[in-house]
Structure formats: structure tokens, C-alpha cells
Amino acid sequence: MNKVYPNAEEAIKGIVDGMTLMVGGFGLCGIPENSITALVRSGIKKLTCISNNAGVDDFGLGLLLQNRQIKKMISSYVGENEEFERQMLSGELEVDLIPQGSLAERCRAGGAGIPAFYTPAGYGTEIAEGKEVKVFDGKPHILESAMKADFAIVKAWKGDTLGNLVFKATARNFNEVMAMAGKITIAEVEELVEPGQLDPNYIHVPGIFVQRIFQGTHYEKRIEQKTLRPKPQ
């Protein structure tokens, strides 16, 4: 079976209006830049996007927001994004905010065949409203359900043609669990190699979770908060 696609335009075929997508990344770190650009060009609308953040105005998922292609965002922190704020306050955009650890675990559970789990995060707060509460070891926990997506779109540093993935530094973040939770997972990689060229001991996502893979191009890798310390004299 061939998992290799020539480019993002081909790899996103099958994504249609109204679908739910998981999009990897933390802030602008480790986001699937090529696939997002292809989604913008495709004009596909009414998307539900599950992603820790929502990009910035002119980069990342912010590009899809500008184009009014997202109907609902499911995130933990939506940050500094004016267009997002405008759409949210005007009611054009639905937003579901989820504690970051619960978001990660709900993706992992979705990929791991665990329909729901109990967590203490959010107990006693408004996000617990309507959720089942159970006490373990004297401490209340709330029931959170697993999440899956029609397509999960992730970005890795290296990948092989069988779909095995390796990430670099903190660009790993949500990419790993989201790769597990897509009915179809698309991985874009900076470097696509042949089987055997990645050390099996250092694979982060085994290829079984990845259905489509392509080598991305022209990564901008924008830095959101360039923070430096002064050079010693």
C-alpha cells in the first residue's frame, strides 16, 4: 500500500465541508503549514477544528479563520488573535475551551480505544457542568469523553514512506496523540526517507497510525515570542 502523496493538495483530498479535523501544534510550533495552506486554497467550509491553539491572525489556523472556513474551534487557549475574537464575540464562531491536559488525553483516548476517563481537572468549575462526577480516594473527578477526528493533520521532522514519524524538540506536542486519533491521519514531514533510514528505537509515532504522508516544502516556522538573553560581554 502506498501512503506517499506528492503534496498537500493531494493529501487533503477527501476532506469536505462540515468535517472535524485535528490539527497538531502548540502555538505556531509544529503546525502542519503546508496542509493549512492547502485547506485555505480548497475553500472547504464549516470545519470543526480541534487544536490546542488557533494560530495568529495571519498564520497557522488564523488563515482558515480569516477565510471563514472554521465553524467551531475546540482548544485550550486561543491567545492573541483579533479575528478569532471578533468572530467569537459576534457569534459566528463556536468555541469550546478544554483544559490542556484533558484535551491531550481525550485525543490519546480516542486513538487508544478508551471511550472516556476520569480526571480531577476542572472539577468544581464551569467546565464540569453536566459531567458525571465520581470520587476516587476521597477526591472528586469528572468524566471526560474521548475525541476522534475525520482527519488528523500532523507535522513531523522526519518520516518514512511507511508513516513512521520522528519529531524535533517541542514541535512534538499534540502531534503525537492527534496522529493516533484521526480516522485518516495525514502527516507532513520536513524530510521523507525510505524504510530503514529511521532508527526503530527512536520512532515517536509508529506508521500504523498514519495513512498519508508527504514531504512539505518552504517551512516558515514563524516564532511567536522571540525571547533572548543578553550575550555575555
Partner 1 sequence: MLDKTGIAKRIAQELQDGWYVNLGIGIPTLVANYVPEGMSVEFQSENGILGMGPFPFEGEEDADLINAGKQTVTLKSGAAIFDSSMSFAMIRGKHIQLTVLGAMEVSQDGDIANWKVPGKMVKGMGGAMDLVASADNIIVAMMQTDKEGNSKLLPKCSLPLTGVKCVKKIVTNLAVMEIKDGAFHLLERAPGVSVEEIRRATAGLLVVPGEVPEMKL
- Contact stretch for partner 1 (CB under 8 A) within 5-13, 43-51, 91-99, 193-201: 91-99
Beta bridge partner(s), residue 187: 154, 213
Strand-pair category, 149-160 with 165-166: antiparallel
* DSSP code, position 211: S
Does 203 bind partner 1 (CB under 8 A)? Our answer is: no
Does 77 bind partner 1 (CB under 8 A)? Our answer is: yes
Does 39 bind partner 1 (CB under 8 A)? Our answer is: no
By C-alpha distance, which of 187, 185, 191, 179 is closest to 217? 191
Residues 114-143 that bind partner 1 (CB under 8 A): 119-127
Q: Which is nearer to partner 1, 4 or 95 (CB)?
A: 95
Does 164 bind partner 1 (CB under 8 A)? Our answer is: no
Q: Which is nearer to partner 1, 145 or 170 (CB)?
A: 170
3-state secondary structure of 75: strand
Does 154 bind partner 1 (CB under 8 A)? Our answer is: no
Does 217 bind partner 1 (CB under 8 A)? Our answer is: no
Tell me the one-letter amino acid at 14: G
Q: Which is nearer to partner 1, 70 or 78 (CB)?
A: 78
Alpha helices per DSSP H over 82-191: 82-89, 100-112, 175-181
> How many CB atoms are closer than 10 A to CB 28?
21
CB of 133 to partner 1, least distance (A): 12
Does 1 bind partner 1 (CB under 8 A)? Our answer is: no
Does 152 bind partner 1 (CB under 8 A)? Our answer is: no
Does 68 bind partner 1 (CB under 8 A)? Our answer is: no
72 close to 96: Cβ distance less than 8 angstroms: yes
Candidate list 70, 156, 171, 210; residue touching partner 1; CB under 8 A:
171
Q: Which is nearer to partner 1, 79 or 206 (CB)?
A: 79
Q: Is 121 left (phi over 0), alpha (psi -120 to 50) or beta?
A: beta
3-state secondary structure of 108: helix
Please give the torsion angle defined by the CA atoms of residues 152, 157, 158 and 163, in that order, rounded to the nearest 10 degrees.
Answer: -10
Q: Which is nearer to partner 1, 44 or 155 (CB)?
A: 155
Does 70 bind partner 1 (CB under 8 A)? Our answer is: no
Q: Give the sheet arrangement for strand 139-145, strand by strand.
A: 116-119, 139-145, 133-136
Task: Give the binding site for partner 1 (CB under 8 A).
Answer: 26-30, 52, 75-79, 85, 88-89, 95, 97, 99-105, 107-108, 119-127, 157, 167-177, 204, 221-229, 231
